[in-house]
Structure 1
Amino acid sequence: MYSSKISGLGYYVPENVVTNEDLSKVMDTNDEWITERTGIKERRHILPGDGNSTSVMGVKAAKIAIERAGLTKDDIDLIVFATLSPDMYFPGGGVEVQEMMDMKTIPALDIRNQCSGFVYGISVADQFVKTGMYRHVLLIGSENHSGGLDMTTRGRGVSVIFGDGAGAAVISRNETGKGGILSTHLHSEGKHKNELALQGPSTRYWVPEIMQDDPQDDIPYYPYMNGQFVFKHAVVRFSEVIAEGLQANDLSVDDINMLIPHQANLRIAQFIQKKFGLDDNRVYNNIQKYGNTTAASIPIALTEAWETGKINSGDLVVLAAFGSGFTWGSAIIRWV
């Protein structure tokens, strides 16, 4: 068995900045209301005609990650693409990345685990590298939320939260055999699947319902979130899966150098930080300027933390996510 490590990181966000004040012009909301509930001040949205899409942003982030890993596209053995917002219903974004980057006929695997997609993707990539099947796996988390949000007062509880962007990591064989990705821990609880969901368009609410002259008002074409219910479950599951990862590696909270939680809501992250007694230098949040970018949130935050020197060789880095499904997970990494 080999061990794996993160050998390269990159991210991309659209240039178009949407502030809370901008949103107040199209729905009944304001900066104070959004900031108090979410901690978000601004987010990025794709603009029509700017050339971006979920897959295009993923490619932009991937190219940076591959270059920083000291590799070329021809060194990549597998693409793992995590998103809830693919360019097409099918096929998924992984094959689009393979085509856009003119890669060899390597396999492409798509993951549909929403907010925990990147952590699930790390687990998948880690296993492929550990078994020796692949040496370098390109993992991408990318989301284009803005085109599918209800940008009216009716949808404000969800629409003010989400932003667009992409992050990528190259997971490589750790030749030193020391450190790297120590373990990953994954869970799900499907009985709560409807508490945070987009039920249509889908095979439940397919083309005939969409195309009829008198569309049914009760078909849920926009995301739904039971905010308080999700919040209460998130803080519990975050805590559990972080503790699980530490225990599995005979580590304690004192060993954590950097916790990067999925950027769902700043209030959730602050609750977890307080519960574990972590100071501000040991937790990284950037939801204030990007909003919730779902599968992209952890790799964007991880890349920023690394770029700014907040993560260094030998540091214990903990990633944790919770989201729709419900699904949640953590990854424990000794940085190399």
Structure 2
Amino acid sequence: MTFSTMIDAMSTQPSGARISGSGRALGARCITNAELAAVLESSDDWIVQRTGIRTRYFIEPGQSNTSLALEASRAALDNAALNASELDAIVFATLSPDMVFPGNGVLLQEALGVAPIPALDVRNQCSGFLYALSVAGAWIRSGMYRRVLVVGSEVHSTGLDLSPQGRAVSILFGDGAGAVVVEAADTRVQEGGALEAVRLGADGSGARLLFCDRPGAAHHPSITSEDLEAGRHYAQMEGRQVFRRAVELLSQEIGALIARHRLDPQRAVLVAHQSNRRINELVAERTGIPEDRVLHTIEQWGNTTAGSIPMALDLARREGRMASGDPVIMAAFGSGLTWGTTLMWG
């Protein structure tokens, strides 16, 4: 390859990536606080005051994590005016796969009928979608692929402790999926879904603030009848510590993003992970983002973990909650502890 040919090849590489389509899906059954309160020995007021949640959706027999992801993916492809056959790769973020292995990415690939494109699973829980988005963006900017489907999908309902002992965790979660199509952008423009690089972080010293360790290969065997009786297969959470660290770290990271890109926070749209409405309200207050520019979906959908950001983003795009060129900040914090932030231009 001559020097001039090399320069020509480099000039054809995409300089950026953009979200060209989005979609979402929910479990078939709407679950009210009153319905949960009856089995958790709680109340609607108690749940709303602590979380902001009023309803969430659970799957019914015949639905699965893969089926939710498929519905969201088809909606995203339709929104991007693409066929599944035009995809180059799939990145699937989830903590609740249909099987222990293989991952849900290949199950979705089969359902879409797009073999043999690569399918990668990402297990970063609440920040999983942004970790997955970072992979897709890097693949595209490197020239490796031009169109990547990024999915965040969760089914929590089949793994919740629906007893008074599990109340603090079980009131939070719902089932849902969000998907986006990420495409190569020939030029870096600040509109049309253009994406900046995702900024990621982790602190394993907080791993046991929010975790589920059964079944786990560190145990011999990975799970026992005694573990099941003790409820060790259910998620464990130190709620107050997670809340405090989420507010502090997200405020810091979003503030840094605003400064790095010299944004006017009054124009920003905040699409944050939906773990607790009060967390997002406090973060917006500390970073100067107006309340009417903050997406809140937790009231009707609950916490859908890796699905929460792409689901909220799809809602915002379809309802016209962002204007062309608006800075859209995506941010997540959760189990790991892991976190991520990125900027998309509306």
TM-score by length of 1: 0.95
**Residue deviations 1:40-73 (CA, integer Å, cap 9, x gap):** 00100112x2x21111110110001011111100
Q: Which residue of 2 aligns with 1:45?
A: 58
Q: Which residue of 1 aligns with 2:92?
A: 81
Q: Which residue of 2 aligns with 1:146?
A: 157
Matches of 2:227 and 2:301, distance apart in 1: 34
Residues 1:5 and 2:18 aligned together: yes
**Residue deviations 1:254-283 (CA, integer Å, cap 9, x gap):** 441x11110000010111122123223211
| Matching of residues 94-105 of structure 1 within 5 Å | 94-105=105-116
Give 1:244 deviation, angstroms.
2.4
Aligned residue for 1:104, secondary structure, equals: coil
CA contact under 8 A between 1:92 and 1:110: conserved in structure 2?
Answer: yes
Residues 1:137 and 2:151 aligned together: no
Aligned residue for 1:325, secondary structure, equals: coil
Q: Which residue of 1 aligns with 2:126?
A: 115
Q: Which residue of 2 aligns with 1:195?
A: 209
CA contact under 8 A between 2:216 and 2:222: conserved in structure 1?
Answer: no
Q: Which residue of 2 aligns with 1:242?
A: 254
CA contact under 8 A between 1:200 and 1:219: conserved in structure 2?
Answer: no
Q: Which residue of 2 aligns with 1:183?
A: 197
Matches of 2:81 and 2:189, distance apart in 1: 20
Aligned residue for 1:253, secondary structure, equals: coil
Range with greater deviation from structure 2 (199-208 or 114-123): 199-208
Match of 1:324 among 335, 340, 346: 335
TM-score by length of 2: 0.92
- Which runs of 5 or more structure 1 residues have no equivalent in the other structure? none
| Matching of residues 219-234 of structure 1 within 5 Å | 220-234=232-246
Tell me the number of residue pairs that the alignment of Structure 1 and Structure 2 aligns.
330
Matches of 1:244 and 1:283, distance apart in 2: 18
Q: Which residue of 1 aligns with 2:29?
A: 16
Kindly tell me: are residues 206 and 74 of structure 1, through their superposed partners in 2, closer, same or farther at Cα, counting changes over 3 Å?
A: farther
Kindly tell me: are residues 251 and 319 of structure 1, through their superposed partners in 2, closer, same or farther at Cα, counting changes over 3 Å?
A: same
Kindly tell me: are residues 208 and 301 of structure 1, through their superposed partners in 2, closer, same or farther at Cα, counting changes over 3 Å?
A: closer
Matches of 1:44 and 1:233, distance apart in 2: 27
CA contact under 8 A between 1:12 and 1:60: conserved in structure 2?
Answer: yes
Runs of 4+ in 1 over 3 A off after TM superposition: 205-209, 214-219
CA contact under 8 A between 2:69 and 2:153: conserved in structure 1?
Answer: yes
Percent identical residues: 40
CA contact under 8 A between 1:4 and 1:173: conserved in structure 2?
Answer: yes
CA contact under 8 A between 1:205 and 1:219: conserved in structure 2?
Answer: no
Structure whose alpha-carbon radius of gyration is higher? 2
Matches of 1:329 and 1:240, distance apart in 2: 11
Aligned residue for 1:183, secondary structure, equals: coil
CA contact under 8 A between 2:124 and 2:335: conserved in structure 1?
Answer: yes
Residues 1:55 and 2:66 aligned together: yes
RMSD: 1.5
Give 1:15 deviation, angstroms.
2.3
CA contact under 8 A between 1:262 and 1:320: conserved in structure 2?
Answer: yes
- Which runs of 5 or more structure 2 residues have no equivalent in the other structure? 1-13
